[in-house]
Amino acid sequence: MTRRPTLKHIAERVGVTASTVSLALRDDARISTTMRERVRQVALEVGYIYNRHAAGLRRGDSGTVALCLNDLGNPFFTEFIAAMEQRFRDQERMMLFCHAQESLTVQADFMRRMAEHGASGLILIPAAGTTGEDLPGAEASHLRHLPLVLLSRDIDGVEVDRVINDDARGMAMVVEHLLSLGHRRIAWLGGGNKTSTARDREQAFRTMLTRAGYPPDQNGICHGPTTMAFGHQGLEALMAQPRPPTAVVCFSDLIAFGAVAACHGLGLRPGVDISIAGFDDMNAAAYTTPPLTSVRVRTDLMGARASEMLLARIRGDQEAPRREMMTPELVVRETTGPVSSRDRD
Amino acid sequence: MTRRPTLKHIAERVGVTASTVSLALRDDARISTTMRERVRQVALEVGYIYNRHAAGLRRGDSGTVALCLNDLGNPFFTEFIAAMEQRFRDQERMMLFCHAQESLTVQADFMRRMAEHGASGLILIPAAGTTGEDLPGAEASHLRHLPLVLLSRDIDGVEVDRVINDDARGMAMVVEHLLSLGHRRIAWLGGGNKTSTARDREQAFRTMLTRAGYPPDQNGICHGPTTMAFGHQGLEALMAQPRPPTAVVCFSDLIAFGAVAACHGLGLRPGVDISIAGFDDMNAAAYTTPPLTSVRVRTDLMGARASEMLLARIRGDQEAPRREMMTPELVVRETTGPVSSRDRD
DNA sequence: CGGATTGGTTCAATCGATTGAATTGCGTTT
DNA sequence: AAACGCAATTCAATCGATTGAACCAATCCG
């Protein structure tokens, strides 16, 4: 098991210097076509493997871009990936990603590691509870030169590029839709206040209902993790109340899936006996029984835009950080319907 | 914007050499505690960032482990990740992953890149259509020294470690279950022959039915991509036949989700008018309406085992490659039930 | 024919951390 | 006082690729 071949080995075989080989392999115009061919040939023969550490050390950049996600258990987040991968691949950049599982420590480790590794930039869907202090942009941080774009979840008080969904608008559409169907007792099933999405959506939910004159009941606000399991038990809890809601708005589709599933056991027909709305409109939303009413978040556009913004920063764009909002749209399917006559107030 | 600080800068400040700083930061026993403290302190002050390229160049190993997935659109595959991350984090190894989207090119690029990067090892859920030629183990490949473990999908004719589910056994359980419920016209909804899982499951399906004396009808075999959309339209197609099946076995849960959803539109009650079985038992399987009968694949155990095998290889284990099979279990929920009397042959 | 041009290649310094061997300093032993 | 042991630090070579400048030879032009 011999040592892995280097430029020098190739150079010796061909009878030139390592410089020539380096230039040849990288298609430098200074090298003649014949030489290039010979070098290529020999490189193949000896099984040459480019050494990124050596190159990275010399050049200072590794040509990679990092993505940090925090909840792979929610397929919604994986939907962002496709659009981004495409963009970076076009730029011959590799995207390396990390699943931090909502752990600030893991997230910080990853960011540090990527800085050490000379990553060109970072797209971050921040872990719940992330503050400005935790970001590369923070003065105290050693990472301040790492270009950064926040995706999907916003963070207050930092000057960074970000691409987020207009959650307030999306939630307004949901509430208006339900009100127009005659619902008045509308409950909330969703996350706490650890992410901007959870905060913004719930805030909008409360504001809209209050403004319409039907402020949400304290018992109608049910907090819990963003999982199907929570959606399931949450709906059961809501419906066990003496005066159950006629409609339930879920923070996310994942929760709504659980809620819709719970109806089966309770003998309720979603869209008839109870209205349920989700948020995100992930792929699976069209495949619940019956299909879920939700708010389409344009993960494709958001991912693409985040990539572009990051690439611009990497190229050295010096403009002030931008905060871009994507407009969502309401997708009415079958889990929402008119309030049944016997439920009407 | 000054250049980022190096060991040398710290050394100058402290009044020692770079060697001392290096040893101090890495907690080498040779360095006194006081010095270690001083170095640490200064490193923090100047905002030192460890340079992985330099270290990697010198040491030849980057301490990272790579994972290549091919279908993030299917949450089943993300279920493997959690168990693996844990294991590697315990070993202070970072896991970098790639979503190759079933593209052999992207997969190959990633593997090459990881070899160039000096990754310690690779766990691969191979892209559909991957052959032994595409793997680091292949003689022709330049990657032959990269420790490799195959996960979930098997590949013929290569000597590599692998951890796979016993698909034949799982499928046998499904078919027996349906036969025992009285089903005789059982259809297949699933992928082609590009992955071992697709082949093995379909093969077992056919064998079991043939052995029982009810070989599947040619019209009862419906091939397509592993998506909910295919499951949806596939079920509609099957039920549109003059003599529709009384039960449908799906290659995977994702397809089954689509199939179950299609029932709603067709006015069929899964588990009553038609039996549907999935495979994988992903989290969402318990939340369809009604809950899906499926085969539990132990992604947690498989992920853990694959990590352990890879770590053993990295440590230099010289034993012959092993092929480990995990035993699945049937999870009967409500989408399967006795064949209805009017359908009985 | 001399000088300039061009194309092709080599020179040599450089990136920053690592590590086995060598060195220094200091107290202890004989 | 010489010899020794030990701890703490430094020396110096090394990893492999990159790249601006220098070099050389052949060709071209006035």
DSSP, residue by residue, A72-116: TTSHHHHHHHHHHHHHHHHTT-EEEEEE-TT-HHHHHHHHHHHHH
Q: Answer whether residue B143 shows pLDDT above 50.
A: yes
Q: Answer whether residue B262 shows pLDDT above 90.
A: yes
Q: Answer whether residue B138 shows pLDDT above 60.
A: no
CA of residue A7 to C1' of nucleotide C23, angstroms: 36
Neighbour count for residue A175 (Cβ, 10 Å): 24
Residue with the two structure tokens 């509870």: A129
Q: Are A71 and A97 in the same domain? A: yes
Lookup: nucleotide whose C1' is closest to B35 CA: D8
Q: Which nucleotides of D are covered by protein (CB under 7 A)?
A: 7-12, 14-20
**Terminal C-alpha separation, chain A:** 81
Give the list of residues 6+ apart from residue A135 with CB closer than 8 angstroms, or none.
A124, A126, A141, A143, A148, A155, A158, A160
CA distance A211 to A204: 10
Chain B CB contacts of A62 below 8 Å: 53
Expressed as residue numbers, the domain containing A11 is: 7-50
Q: Are B192 and B221 in the same domain? A: yes
Task: Compute the average pLDDT of residues B181-185.
Answer: 97
Residue B345's pLDDT band (cuts 50, 70, 90)? low
Q: Which of B62, B81, B115 sits opposite A49 (nearest CB)?
A: B115
Task: Compute the average pLDDT of residues B256-270.
Answer: 97
| Best to test chain A binding among B2, B53, B254 (most A CBs inside 10 Å) | B53
Q: Are B279 and B214 in the same domain? A: yes
- Among B254, B278, B297, residue at a domain's last position: B297
Residues B185 and B247: beta-carbon distance below 8 Å: yes
Tokens coding B83: 């168990």
Closest CA–CA distance from residue A105 to any residue of chain B (Å): 12
CA distance A283 to A264: 21
Q: Which nucleotides of C are covered by protein (CB under 7 A)?
A: 7-12, 14-20
Residue A335 lies in a domain: no
Task: Compute the average pLDDT of residues B319-323.
Answer: 93
The pLDDT assigned to A342 comes to: 64
CA distance A8 to A5: 8
Q: Which of B57, B81, B261 sits opposite A288 (nearest CB)?
A: B261
Strand D nearby residues, CB < 7 A: A 3-4, 6-8, 18-19, 22-23, 25-26, 48, 50-51, 54-55, 57-59; B 15-20, 23, 30-32, 34-35, 54, 57-58, 60
The pLDDT assigned to A1 comes to: 45
Q: Indicate the length of chain A as a whole number.
A: 345
Q: Are B269 and B303 in the same domain? A: no
Q: Are B175 and B111 in the same domain? A: no
- Tell me the β-bridge partners of B258: none
Q: Which of B56, B257, B289 sits opposite A284 (nearest CB)?
A: B257
Chain B CB contacts of A89 below 8 Å: 106
- Classify the C-alpha dihedral B177-B181-B184-B188 as positive or negative: negative
The pLDDT assigned to A146 comes to: 85
CA distance A342 to B1: 69
**Most confident by average pLDDT, A69-78, B129-138, B164-173:** B164-173
Q: Answer whether residue B71 shows pLDDT above 60.
A: yes
Alpha carbon of residue A6 to chain centroid: 40
Residue B86 lies in a domain: yes
Put simply, the answer to whether B62 touches A53 (Cβ < 8 Å) is: yes
Q: What are phi and psi of A123, to 5 degrees?
A: -110, 130
Q: Indicate the length of chain B as a whole number.
A: 345
How would you label A220-247 residue by residue, b for 16+ Cβ within 10 Å and e otherwise? bebebbbbbbbbbbbbebbbeeeebbbb
Residue B221 lies in a domain: yes
Residue A79 lies in a domain: yes
3-class DSSP string for A275-343: EEECCECCHHHHHCCCCCEEEECCHHHHHHHHHHHHHHHHCCCCCCCCEEEECCEEECCCCCCCCCHHH
Q: What are phi and psi of B189, to 5 degrees?
A: -130, 110
Picking from A117, A152, A157, the residue whose alpha carbon sits closest to that of residue A135 is A157
CA of residue B58 to C1' of nucleotide D4, angstroms: 36
Q: Which of B95, B142, B264 sits opposite A47 (nearest CB)?
A: B142
The pLDDT assigned to A202 comes to: 97
Residue A18 lies in a domain: yes
How would you label B328-345 residue by residue, b for 16+ Cβ within 10 Å and e otherwise? bebbebbbbbebeeebee
CA distance A82 to A231: 27
**Terminal C-alpha separation, chain B:** 81
Put simply, the answer to whether B287 touches A257 (Cβ < 8 Å) is: yes
Q: Which amino acid is at B291?
A: P
Picking from A60, A19, A26, A87, the residue whose alpha carbon sits closest to that of residue A305 is A87
CA distance B17 to B9: 9
Q: Which range is least confidently modeled, A61-75, A83-97, B144-158, B259-273? A: A83-97
**Local structure of A221: helix, strand or coil:** strand
Closest CA–CA distance from residue B215 to any residue of chain A (Å): 31
CA distance B6 to B50: 8
User: Kindly report the CA angle at A217 between A216 and A221, in degrees rounded to 5?
Assistant: 80
Q: What is the DSSP string of B95-130?
A: EEEEE-TT-HHHHHHHHHHHHHTT-SEEEE-PPTT-
Q: Are B88 and B15 in the same domain? A: no
The pLDDT assigned to A68 comes to: 95
Picking from B153, B135, B137, the residue whose alpha carbon sits closest to that of residue B76 is B153
CA distance A251 to A35: 62
Prediction pTM value? 0.93
Mean pLDDT by 10 residues, chain A (345 residues): 84 95 94 94 92 93 91 93 86 87 92 91 96 72 75 94 98 98 97 92 98 94 97 98 97 98 97 98 97 98 96 89 97 96 62
Q: Answer whether residue B142 shows pLDDT above 70.
A: no
Measured from Cα to the C1' atom, the residue closest to D10 is B17
CA of residue A5 to C1' of nucleotide D24, angstroms: 30
Q: Which amino acid is at A181?
A: L
Q: Are B185 and B253 in the same domain? A: yes
Instruction: Pick B144 or A285 by higher pLDDT.
Output: A285
The pLDDT assigned to B1 comes to: 45
The mean pLDDT value of chain B amounts to 93
Q: Is the peptide bond before A290 cis (omega within 30 degrees of 0)?
A: yes
Burial of A301: CB neighbours in 10 Å, binned 0-12, 13-18, 19+:
middle
Residue B208 lies in a domain: yes
Tokens coding B316: 């230099």
Residue A332 lies in a domain: no
Percent of chain B with pLDDT over 90: 79
Q: Are B277 and B161 in the same domain? A: no
Beta strand residue intervals within chain B, DSSP E: 64-69, 94-99, 121-124, 148-151, 161-165, 186-190, 221-223, 247-250, 275-277, 294-296, 323-326, 329-331
Within an 8 Å CB–CB cutoff, is residue B168 touching chain A? Answer: no
Q: Are B178 and B135 in the same domain? A: no
- Classify the C-alpha dihedral A77-A78-A83-A87 as positive or negative: positive
- Tell me the β-bridge partners of B164: B325
CA-nearest residue of chain B to A78? B72
Within an 8 Å CB–CB cutoff, is residue B212 touching chain A? Answer: no
Residue B35 lies in a domain: yes
**Local structure of A143: helix, strand or coil:** coil
Task: Compute the average pLDDT of residues B74-101.
Answer: 88
The pLDDT assigned to B140 comes to: 45
Picking from A205, A216, A217, the residue whose alpha carbon sits closest to that of residue A174 is A205
CA distance A35 to A51: 21
Count how many domains chain A has: 3
Q: Are B77 and B157 in the same domain? A: yes
Q: Is the peptide bond before B290 cis (omega within 30 degrees of 0)?
A: yes
Q: Are B158 and B185 in the same domain? A: no
Chain A CB contacts of B287 below 8 Å: 228, 232, 257-258, 260-261
Within an 8 Å CB–CB cutoff, is residue A91 touching chain B? Answer: no
Residues A20 and A35: beta-carbon distance below 8 Å: yes
Put simply, the answer to whether B261 touches A232 (Cβ < 8 Å) is: no
Chain B CB contacts of A115 below 8 Å: 49
Q: Are B95 and B105 in the same domain? A: yes
The domain that holds A205 is classified in CATH as 3.40.50.2300
Tokens coding B40: 């640490």
Residue with the two structure tokens 């990288």: A26
Q: Which of B81, B99, B287 sits opposite A99 (nearest CB)?
A: B81
Q: What are phi and psi of A295, to 5 degrees?
A: -115, 120
Put simply, the answer to whether B290 touches A99 (Cβ < 8 Å) is: no
Tokens coding B323: 């092929």
CA distance B43 to B52: 16
Residues A255 and A285: beta-carbon distance below 8 Å: no
Within an 8 Å CB–CB cutoff, is residue B51 touching chain A? Answer: yes
Residue B146's pLDDT band (cuts 50, 70, 90)? confident
Picking from B200, B118, B217, B189, the residue whose alpha carbon sits closest to that of residue B155 is B200
Tokens coding A147: 């270009």
CA separation, residue B218 to residues B34, B140, B222, B235 (Å): 79, 41, 9, 15
DSSP state of A220: G
Picking from A144, A234, A156, A228, the residue whose alpha carbon sits closest to that of residue A195 is A156
Closest CA–CA distance from residue B143 to any residue of chain A (Å): 8
Return the biggest CA–CA distance within chain A: 92
Residue B137's pLDDT band (cuts 50, 70, 90)? low
